[in-house]
Amino acid sequence: MEQLDLDILRYLDGEMSLDEELKLVETIKNTSDGESRLMFLVQFHGQLPAVFSESAVKNHLKQIETLKGRKKPTTKFNKINKSSIYHKKEKKTKNLIYIFSGIAASLAFCSLIMFHNSSKNNNIVEIPAPINTPKFNESKKMKIIKVDGFVWNSSGKPWSKMKPGMVVESGEAITIIEAGSATFKFENDETAITISNKCSLIFEHSDQGNTIKILRGLVVADVAKQDTTKPLKFSTGEAEATVLGTKLRIDKTEEKTTLDVLSGSVEFRRIGHKASVKVNSKQFSTISAKGSEDPNVKNFPLGAQGQIILQRWFNIGTSELSALKQLKTYPNSPDSELFLSTFEIPANSADNYGSRIAGMLHAPETGEYTFWISGDYKASLSLSSDDSPRNLKEIAKVENWTHFREWNKEPVQQSKKIRLEKGKAYFIEALQIDDKENDSLTVFWEGPGITREIIPGRYLSPSH
């Protein structure tokens, strides 16, 4: 993935200043395939496929040109007139569609592309099962074994959609735009790498070993035993992790790179620094993007295991959350049960089901915490005063669907401040029901030393 593609994705995510937006417009003008790459990313960014009209694009071009030298508008994106958009599904007509402000080109109608994966019930970023480390064989390629949603490879012109069985060669980029996940395995060993929402990476092979360059997003890896002279490396703009065989989770954001080690050990260092630290099982470390300090190692809170259990019941046939608890098979006999590495069900993972994510929450520090929940169609978040589910009390809910990770649509999505104690386990439970489409569930928190984030696995553990 080239820098232009990353800049376009940053814009669509609302992460650019006005000056950066104007600079991006000029870059697109001066790049031969800039317009086609832009519209490709616009079309597949987010959860709602749409057809954008040429007239709508030209109108927004005129608007952005008037911004030069002026104060940046409060609203990040310009809303498109509904007459210029065709929505395939009835519920999706409620969604707000945004388009890149500053397209200096005349664009024809884009094709409406819908992708339905027959195996999307498995679209969960799960911690891979433990492996028996095989004899090491040098792998020069990765093969995709599971795809859910939109996963693209840079080997196409400009991109090609990936399917199970396809091979990723050295130097090729992979990206997931919004909802989706994909799992890859190395050609000659059992190393498995799972990427999810908004993840972009580049696979590189050399005589010194393989490197996974993470441009952004979440990577969960179960790394088979490697040759000590050719370790597997994961790198970001600011950090590098050297792995010989372990289970880990790396989350790359604009601000930092965070490494969670679930088993084994990993050498972790800041790019450009010789000194490294060893991060062992049930430990994590963070390297900031703008700082110069070496990483510190911290332990998971006592009792935390890095994962939480998701249970799901399919074909419920209703959008009422109360129907979930009325099932005879609830809560001990779900249709499926998986381990999650964060407190989240990715968007568009299944249809017509009810879910329960339940386990223990471990606060890293004593203090006041605030929680948020988002989801589709309805959802509820409850927290116990201790480790018993008998003391659960609802603290936040979604009464009507939200967009994926839309934490501030309704006031009831946010809890009051709740005091938690370090070293104490609290039973936490989120329930969600989906009727037709656009399913998702995400739980966020904020507290001492933590700005609002999706609750990571390092603060969670299963309840059984």
Residue 76 lies in a domain: yes
- Does one domain contain both 360 and 279? no
- Does one domain contain both 145 and 280? yes
Has residue 178 got a pLDDT over 50? yes
Q: Please tell me whether the overall predicted TM-score, pTM, comes out greater than 0.85 for this model.
A: no
- Does one domain contain both 52 and 74? yes
Q: Which residues contact 47 (CB under 8 A, 6 or more apart)?
A: 95, 178, 179, 347, 348, 403, 404, 438
Encode pLDDT of 293-323 as tens digits: 889 999 999 899 999 999 999 998 888 899 9
Has residue 106 got a pLDDT over 70? no
Percent of the chain with pLDDT over 70: 73
- Does one domain contain both 384 and 256? no
Residue 424, exposed/middle/buried by CB under 10 A (0-12, 13-18, 19+)?
middle
Across 367-378, average pLDDT: 95
Question: In terms of residues, how long is the chain?
Answer: 464
Across 315-333, average pLDDT: 90
Residue 115 lies in a domain: no
**pLDDT band (50, 70, 90) for residue 48:** very low
Residue 111 lies in a domain: no
The pLDDT of residue 196 is 80
**pLDDT band (50, 70, 90) for residue 86:** very low
- Does one domain contain both 228 and 276? yes
The β-bridge partners of 436 are none
Residue 104 lies in a domain: no
Supply the range of the domain harboring residue 233.
120-299
**Strand 232-235 to strand 209-222: parallel, antiparallel, or no bridges (unpaired)?**
parallel
Separation CA 439–CA 449 (nearest Å): 31
- Does one domain contain both 194 and 289? yes
> Which residue pairs, CB below 8 angstroms and at least 24 apart, start in 77-83?
77/14, 77/101, 80/52, 80/56, 81/56
Residue 108 lies in a domain: no
Range scoring the smallest mean pLDDT among 66-75, 164-173, 174-183, 337-346: 66-75
The β-bridge partners of 234 are 212, 241
- Judge if the upstream peptide bond of residue 334 is cis by omega within 30 degrees of 0: no
- Are the CB atoms for 425 and 361 separated by under 8 Å? yes
- Does one domain contain both 124 and 267? yes
Separation CA 30–CA 182 (nearest Å): 33
CATH number at residue 170: 2.60.120.1440
**Which residue is associated with the tokens 């800041």?**
270
Residue 113 lies in a domain: no
Helix (H, G, I), strand (E, B) or coil at 156: coil
- Does one domain contain both 344 and 415? yes
Mean pLDDT of the chain: 78
The pLDDT of residue 41 is 65
Encode pLDDT of 272-281 as tens digits: 998 999 999 9
| Count of domains for the chain | 3
Q: At what angle do helices 3-12 and 18-29 cross, to 10 degrees?
A: 140
- Output b/e per residue, 137-155; b: 16+ Cβ within 10 A: eebebbebebbbbbbbbbb
Separation CA 372–CA 388 (nearest Å): 21
The pLDDT of residue 39 is 64
Has residue 219 got a pLDDT over 90? yes
Separation CA 35–CA 108 (nearest Å): 11
Separation CA 282–CA 413 (nearest Å): 31
Question: What amino acid occupies position 158?
Answer: P
Separation CA 449–CA 135 (nearest Å): 43
- Does one domain contain both 166 and 199? yes
- Does one domain contain both 370 and 271? no
Has residue 392 got a pLDDT over 50? yes
The pLDDT of residue 1 is 52
**Which residue is associated with the tokens 């399917």?**
163
- Are the CB atoms for 162 and 173 separated by under 8 Å? no
